[in-house]
Structure 1
Amino acid sequence: MQAARIRIRTRARTLAVGVVAALALAAVPAHAAPRTASYNASPPVNLSASCAGQDAETIQATDPAVGGVYDAWMGCKGIGFSASLNGGTSFGTPLTMPGSIGQKGSRSWDPAVTVAPDGTVYVAFMVSRAGQTYPTVDVSTDHGASFRTAGVITPPDAGNWGDRDFIAAAPDGTLYLTWDYGPSSAAVTFLCATSGSCSFATGDVNAVLQKSTDGGRTWSAMTHISPGYPNSGADSAPITVEPDGSLDVVYQGYAVTNIPTDTLTVASLYATRSTDGGATFSPPVAVGASVGTMNTAEWWIDGAEALGPDGTLYATWDTQGASSDTGWLSYSRDHGATWSAPVQAPADTLQVPHVVQVVAGPAGIAYVGWLSDSDPRGYAQYLRTFSTTQGWLSAPVQVSQGFGTSSVWPGDTFGFSALTPTRLALAWGSAVAPTATKDDIWASTVGVVIP
Structure 2
Amino acid sequence: MPEAHLSDSVDKSVFAAALVASTFSMFVAPQPTRSAPISVGQNVMVSNPGSGKAYYEVLLSADPSNATHLLACTTVANRDLADSPYDSAVYVSSDSGAHWTQTLYVRDAGDPACAVGVEGRAYFAAIETKLNSHNKRFSMTRFYRSTDAGEHWLPPVDLSRSLDREFIAVDKTSGKQRGFVYVNAAKYVRNLNDDWASITNSINTFGFFVSSDGGKSFERSGVLAPNDYQYVFADGGSTVLSNGTYIAVFPDLNNRKKQLPPDHTEPDTTLKLLASEDAGETFNKAVIISPQASCSQGSTFSMLPQVATDYSGGPFKDRLYVVWPDQGSGRCEIKFSYSKDKGKTWSSPATVNDDVARPSPKTGPDDFMPAIAVNKNGVVGVLWQSRQSDSTNLGYSLRFAASFDGGESFEPSVAVSTASAAIGRGKMLELWGASSGGGNREDYTRGQPLAVELGYDGRFDYIGGDTIGLAADGDGVFHGLWTDNRAGIFAVWTAPMRTIGIAVNHGSPDLASLSDVTEKATIDVANVRFNKSTSDLTADFYLANTSKVSLEAPLKLRITSLRSKLGAASLVTSATDYAQSQILDFTPQIAGALAAGKRSQAQCVTFHIANLHSVVMYPWNSLTQFISLQARVYAKAQQKRAKAQPTKRGSP
The more displaced of 230-239 and 172-181 is 230-239
- Contact kept, 8 Å, 1:266 with 1:296, in 2: the verdict is no
CA shift in 2, pair 1:296/1:274, >3 Å: farther
| Inter-partner Cα distance in structure 2 for 1:169 and 1:358 | 16
Q: Give 1:196's aligned residue.
A: none
| Inter-partner Cα distance in structure 2 for 1:166 and 1:229 | 26
| Inter-partner Cα distance in structure 2 for 1:241 and 1:153 | 21
Mapping of residues 313-392 of structure 1, within 5 Å: 313-321=320-328, 323-348=330-355, 350=364, 352=366, 354-362=368-376, 365-376=379-390, 378-388=395-405, 391-392=408-409
Secondary structure of the 1:374 match is coil
Deviation at 1:425, TM superposition (A): 0.9
- Contact kept, 8 Å, 2:229 with 2:254, in 1: the verdict is no
Deviation at 1:296, TM superposition (A): 6.0
> Does 1:418 pair with 2:435?
no
Give a deviation string over 1:101-140, Cα, whole Å, max 9, x none: 1xxxxx3111111111111110111122234323111122
| Inter-partner Cα distance in structure 2 for 1:210 and 1:420 | 28
Deviation at 1:82, TM superposition (A): 1.2
CA shift in 2, pair 1:328/1:270, >3 Å: same
> Does 1:404 pair with 2:410?
no
- Contact kept, 8 Å, 1:223 with 1:280, in 2: the verdict is no
Deviation at 1:394, TM superposition (A): 2.1
Letter paired with 1:443 = T
CA shift in 2, pair 1:345/1:188, >3 Å: farther
Letter paired with 1:386 = S
2:286 to 266, 270, 284: 284
Give a deviation string over 1:322-355, Cα, whole Å, max 9, x none: 7321211111010100011211011235263511
| Inter-partner Cα distance in structure 1 for 2:103 and 2:50 | 10
Q: Give 1:57's aligned residue.
A: 57
Secondary structure of the 2:65 match is helix
- Contact kept, 8 Å, 2:353 with 2:367, in 1: the verdict is no
- Contact kept, 8 Å, 1:245 with 1:275, in 2: the verdict is yes
The more displaced of 422-431 and 249-258 is 249-258
| Inter-partner Cα distance in structure 1 for 2:407 and 2:274 | 27
| Inter-partner Cα distance in structure 1 for 2:407 and 2:147 | 42
1:143 to 128, 149, 154: 149
CA shift in 2, pair 1:128/1:256, >3 Å: farther
Q: Give 1:240's aligned residue.
A: 239
Letter paired with 2:236 = A
Q: Give 1:445's aligned residue.
A: 496
- Contact kept, 8 Å, 2:250 with 2:305, in 1: the verdict is yes
TM-score (norm 1): 0.78
Deviation at 1:249, TM superposition (A): 1.1
Mapping of residues 91-110 of structure 1, within 5 Å: 91-92=100-101, 94-97=102-105, 100-101=106-107, 107-110=108-111
Secondary structure of the 1:222 match is strand
| Inter-partner Cα distance in structure 2 for 1:360 and 1:354 | 19
The more displaced of 52-61 and 385-394 is 385-394
CA shift in 2, pair 1:202/1:227, >3 Å: closer
Letter paired with 2:327 = Q
| Inter-partner Cα distance in structure 2 for 1:366 and 1:301 | 21
Letter paired with 1:336 = G
Secondary structure of the 1:205 match is strand
| Inter-partner Cα distance in structure 1 for 2:340 and 2:278 | 20
Q: Give 1:120's aligned residue.
A: 121
> Does 1:204 pair with 2:210?
no
| Inter-partner Cα distance in structure 2 for 1:401 and 1:202 | 45
Aligned length: 389
Deviation at 1:317, TM superposition (A): 0.6
Letter paired with 2:62 = T
| Inter-partner Cα distance in structure 1 for 2:365 and 2:202 | 26
| Inter-partner Cα distance in structure 2 for 1:417 and 1:226 | 31
Q: Give 1:166's aligned residue.
A: 167
CA shift in 2, pair 1:448/1:202, >3 Å: farther
Secondary structure of the 2:341 match is coil
> Does 1:153 pair with 2:153?
no
> Does 1:269 pair with 2:271?
yes
Q: Give 1:111's aligned residue.
A: 112
| Inter-partner Cα distance in structure 2 for 1:62 and 1:230 | 39
| Inter-partner Cα distance in structure 1 for 2:36 and 2:373 | 16
Structure 2, unpaired ranges of 5+ = 1-30, 79-86, 173-177, 312-316, 358-363, 425-460, 503-652
Give a deviation string over 1:175-195, Cα, whole Å, max 9, x none: 110011112395235xxxxxx
Q: Which has the higher contact order (CA 8 A, sep 6+)?
A: 1
CA shift in 2, pair 1:257/1:414, >3 Å: closer
Q: Give 1:216's aligned residue.
A: 215
Q: Give 2:140's aligned residue.
A: 134
Q: Give 1:302's aligned residue.
A: 304
Letter paired with 1:72 = C
Deviation at 1:225, TM superposition (A): 4.2
| Inter-partner Cα distance in structure 2 for 1:209 and 1:230 | 21
More strand, by proportion: 1
- Contact kept, 8 Å, 1:178 with 1:208, in 2: the verdict is yes
Letter paired with 1:91 = W
| Inter-partner Cα distance in structure 1 for 2:123 and 2:74 | 13
Letter paired with 2:496 = T
CA shift in 2, pair 1:368/1:301, >3 Å: same
| Inter-partner Cα distance in structure 1 for 2:375 and 2:474 | 8
CA shift in 2, pair 1:226/1:335, >3 Å: farther
Give a deviation string over 1:229-266, Cα, whole Å, max 9, x none: 9964342232111232211111111113449x9x9981
Secondary structure of the 1:245 match is coil
| Inter-partner Cα distance in structure 2 for 1:134 and 1:316 | 29
TM-score (norm 2): 0.55
CA shift in 2, pair 1:296/1:201, >3 Å: farther
The more displaced of 294-303 and 48-57 is 294-303
Q: Give 1:249's aligned residue.
A: 248
- Contact kept, 8 Å, 2:251 with 2:303, in 1: the verdict is no
| Inter-partner Cα distance in structure 1 for 2:125 and 2:465 | 17
- Contact kept, 8 Å, 1:56 with 1:441, in 2: the verdict is yes
2:90 to 81, 84, 95: 81
Deviation at 1:35, TM superposition (A): 6.4
The more displaced of 128-137 and 293-302 is 293-302
Secondary structure of the 2:284 match is coil
Deviation at 1:214, TM superposition (A): 3.0
- Contact kept, 8 Å, 1:188 with 1:204, in 2: the verdict is no
